[in-house]
Amino acid sequence: MQDITKNNFDFIRVLLAFIVFLGHLGTLSASPDLKIFEHSPIEIAVFGFFAVSGFLIARSYDRSSSLKSYLKKRIRRIVPAYLLVIFLCAILLSLVSTYSLTEYFSNTQVYKYLFWNSLFLNFKAPWLPGVFGNQAVNGALWTLKIEMCYYFSVPLLFLLFGKNNKYRNISLIILYFLSLIYLNYFESLHKISVAKQLPGTLSYFIPGMLIYFNFDKFIKYKNILFIIALATVWIDLYLNIQLFSPMMIGVIVMYIAYSFKFLNNFGKYGDFTYGIYIFHFPIIRTFQTLGLFEDYNPFVMALVCMLVVIAVGVSSWHFYEKRFL
């Protein structure tokens, strides 16, 4: 039977992070030449992240010696780098603000930004004074609030569903469909931001958990499940409804994770994905604010921007993140 620890999650997370980067590059650069990147499937990439989280967080809790040990590991993974990007943005983006440094740091919005964002409540204060036209500093961070909710949800789900795998599977499937009802209801009302809160996004998280709890069966039937998943996603897209596609996105992601063995060592130099994900948004916006996409060849600047994002992600891992793990 396949070793659960031999997987391609490092490759998948880097791939998903760059899909998100390209989508935001097309949108935030304001360059007509780069507009083609707007078609990058950001939403599917984010949902892929949620499916990976469902699998890995369930495994993390299942293998932890205690609740305290589990929470300590999970919080150390996400919180230090998250706080770093919040504080660096508040300080360094003063340099591209239309306000003087004195006006900027005397503005209460700076401290509201620090306070609310430190609590993962980005929507309460998403902007900084005179920065990016008072638009959201880092629109990618909304998913981190969801991720933190997942961290606390998993122990509750284990407590409620117990160790009996049959009962646990049935309970998770029921929860999956309840989540879909919430998601589709608010999407039908065009309340997309409400639809994508925790009750709705659980439909993408739960498939990862289900595959973890039924890993041996998944590996045994993964090829046929992959074919079914591809067909089902297209059907849901055609009918414009999310019924089985969240589950099938989970199947597709986990199929890639446990196929293509040559990708197993992709993360041997470090896990740069988180740094790339949390820093890319303000970096792209800074390039746009400085007029780099407009004044120079936009494709060259897109490449430079990507290299800067990679460099920041690598530095964040080696000089900061891994110290907490």
- Give start and end residues of each alpha helix (H) in 125-214: 142-161, 165-188, 192-195, 198-213
> What pLDDT score does 232 carry?
85
> What pLDDT score does 209 carry?
95
Residues 29-61: pLDDT tens digits? 999 999 999 999 999 999 999 999 999 999 999
Q: Rounded to an integer, what distance in angstroms lies between the CA atom of residue 12 and that of residue 8?
A: 6
Residue 263 class from Cβ within 10 Å (0-12 exposed, 13-18 middle, 19+ buried)?
middle
SS3 8: coil
The answer to whether 274 touches 15, Cβ cutoff 8 Å, is no
Residues 213-269: pLDDT tens digits? 999 999 999 999 999 998 887 777 777 666 788 899 999 999 999 998 888 888 787
Instruction: Name the DSSP letter for residue 125.
Output: S
The answer to whether 28 touches 179, Cβ cutoff 8 Å, is no
Four-residue CA torsion sign, 309, 80, 90, 137: positive
**Closest to 208 (Cα-Cα) out of 12, 1, 29:** 12
Confidence of residue 3 (pLDDT cuts 50, 70, 90): confident
User: How large a percentage of the chain has pLDDT more than 90?
Assistant: 78
The answer to whether 137 touches 89, Cβ cutoff 8 Å, is yes
Place of tokens 């060592």: 265
Both tokens of residue 240?
A: 């414009």
> What pLDDT score does 268 carry?
80
Place of tokens 């306000």: 99
The answer to whether 156 touches 58, Cβ cutoff 8 Å, is no
Identify the weakest region by mean pLDDT among 11-20, 204-213, 232-241, 296-305.
232-241
Instruction: Name the DSSP letter for residue 86.
Output: H
- Cα–Cα distances (Å) from 43 to 179, 185, 196, 249, in that order, read 17, 18, 10, 11
Prediction pTM value: 0.92
Sequential DSSP letters for 209-269: HHHHHTHHHHHHHHHHHHHHHHHHHHHHHHHT--SSHHHHHHHHHHHHHTS-GGGTTTTTT
Residues 106-164: pLDDT tens digits? 999 999 999 999 999 999 999 999 999 999 999 999 999 999 999 999 998 888 876 66
Rg (CA), the chain: 20
pLDDT at 2 over 80: no
Both tokens of residue 247?
A: 């589950």
